[in-house]
Amino acid sequence: MKTQEYLVKEKLPLFWCAGCGNGSVLHAILRCFEKLNYTRENTVVVTGIGCWGKADDYVDTNTFHGTHGRALAFGTGIKLANPELNVVVLMGDGDGATIGGNHLIHAARRNVDVTAIVVNNLNYGMTGGQYSGTTPHEKITSTSRYGHIEHGFDLSGLVAAAGASYVSRGTTYGIVQLEKFIFEALQKKGFSFVEAISQCPTHFGRLNGMKKPADMLNWFKENSVSVSAAEKLTQKERENKFVVGNFVNRENEDYSTKYLRVINDAKKSKEGGK
Ligand SMILES: Cc1ncc(C[n+]2csc(CCOP(=O)(O)OP(=O)(O)O)c2C)c(N)n1
C-alpha cells in the first residue's frame, strides 16, 4: 500500500491545531508502514486518549481506541491473543508516561513485542496544556504559571532502564532521523520505544515565548545534542537539552515467544497425564 492509502480520507482535515507536530509524526509512521509492506489485516494501531490519541481516527489499518493511560494494556492483550499481528501503540506523554507510566515500565520490563511511539509535546495538549510528567523544570504551563517546580522524566532513560529491547529519541525538527528510528523500532522483536519530541504551539509554545510553530522547531534544533555529545556534558548542562539518538538496541527473547512456550509445555504435560 502507498503511504496515502493508509489514511482515512473521509476523516480529513486532521483535527489537530495548525502547526502541531502530530501530522509530521503520523506521516513518518505511515511512510514506514509502506516500506515494511504492512497490510490493513496484519496491523493494529492502538491509542489511548489525547490529541495524539486521536491518531487512530486517521489510520486505515485495524485500530483500537482505548482509555486514557491504558493503551499498552490493550496492546499487550492484542499481541498475546494474536502474536502474528504488528501492534503499534501511539500515546501522548500524559497518556503513555504520566497516567500510563506504570503500564509503560511493565510493558518494557516484560519485553512485550509491540512498538510504542510516544509523542512527547511536554504537556497535556487536549485538556488545555496542563503540565505532565515530562514538562521541563521552570517551564510555564496552564497549571504552572510561575514556572514548573518539578523536573520532567527522562522517558527514554526510564524505558531503557525498565528493560526495553529498542529505545530511541528524536524530534520533529529532525524528522528524517525520527523516521529512521520508527523504521528500526517497527522491525525490532521485543518492546521497542520511540520518543518523538514534538511541538504544541497552541499551549506550550504560546506560554513559553515560542508563539510560532517554527519557534518551537528552532528550540529543538538549538537544544538537541547527540547521545555521544551528551556523555561529555555535566548533569546540569544536560538538563535543558534534548538528547537525541539510539539508547538501546539489544536482543532479548520477547514475552509472546516465552508465553507460547509455556502454553506448549502445559499442553504436553496435560497430554502426558501429568
Ligand atoms: C482517566 C482519565 N483521566 C483524565 C482524562 C482527561 N484527559 C483526556 S486527554 C488528557 C491529556 C492528554 O495529554 P497527552 O497524553 O500528553 O496527549 P496530548 O493531548 O498532549 O497529545 C486528559 C488528562 C481522561 N480522559 N481519562
User: How does pLDDT run across 133-167, given as a tens digit for each residue?
Assistant: 999 999 999 999 999 999 999 999 999 999 999 99
How many Å lie between the centroid of ligand 1 and the Cα of residue 130?
10
Please work out whether the CB of residue 52 comes within 6 Å of at least one atom of ligand 1. yes
Tens digits of residue pLDDT in 177-197: 999 999 999 999 999 999 999
Q: Give the type of residue at 7.
A: L
Nearest residue by C-alpha to atom 6 in ligand 1? 127
Cα→Cα distances 185→89, 139, 236, Å: 12, 30, 30
Is residue 249 scored above 70 in pLDDT? yes
- How far is the C-alpha of 181 from the C-alpha of 191, rounded, in Å? 14
Please work out whether the CB of residue 68 comes within 6 Å of at least one atom of ligand 1. yes
How many Å lie between the centroid of ligand 1 and the Cα of residue 176?
28
Please work out whether the CB of residue 93 comes within 6 Å of at least one atom of ligand 1. yes
Nearest atom in ligand 1 to 132's CA: 16
Nearest residue by C-alpha to atom 11 in ligand 1? 124
- How far is the C-alpha of 94 from the C-alpha of 72, rounded, in Å? 13
Tens digits of residue pLDDT in 18-40: 999 999 999 999 999 999 999 99
Nearest residue by C-alpha to atom 5 in ligand 1? 68
How many Å lie between the centroid of ligand 1 and the Cα of residue 49?
5
Structural domains of the chain, ranges and CATH numbers in brackets? 3-271 (3.40.50.970)
CA neighbor of 12 nearest in space, from 27, 31, 1? 27
Does residue 152 contact residue 133 with C-beta atoms inside 8 Å? yes
The C-alpha cell that represents 3 in the structure block: 503511504
Does residue 114 contact residue 72 with C-beta atoms inside 8 Å? yes
124: DSSP letter: B
Tens digits of residue pLDDT in 44-88: 999 999 999 999 999 999 999 999 999 999 999 999 999 999 999
Nearest residue by C-alpha to atom 26 in ligand 1? 68
Helix (H, G, I), strand (E, B) or coil at 211: coil
Helix (H, G, I), strand (E, B) or coil at 39: coil
- How far is the C-alpha of 265 from the C-alpha of 74, rounded, in Å? 26
pLDDT for 239 equals 85
Nearest residue by C-alpha to atom 7 in ligand 1? 127
pTM of the model: 0.97
Please work out whether the CB of residue 121 comes within 6 Å of at least one atom of ligand 1. yes
Q: Where are the alpha helices (DSSP H) in 199-252?
A: 206-207, 213-223, 227-231, 235-238
Please work out whether the CB of residue 19 comes within 6 Å of at least one atom of ligand 1. no
Please work out whether the CB of residue 49 comes within 6 Å of at least one atom of ligand 1. yes
pLDDT for 240 equals 86
Is residue 273 scored above 90 in pLDDT? no
Is residue 272 scored above 90 in pLDDT? no
Taking the CA atoms of residue 76, residue 157, residue 165 and residue 107 in that order, the dihedral angle to the nearest 10 degrees is -10
- The sign of the torsion formed by the CA atoms of 49, 62, 165, 179 equals negative
Nearest residue by C-alpha to atom 16 in ligand 1? 94
Phi, psi of 18 (to 5 degrees): -60, 135
Cross-sheet strand order for the sheet of 224-226: 62-65, 43-47, 86-92, 115-120, 192-197, 166-171, 242-249, 224-226
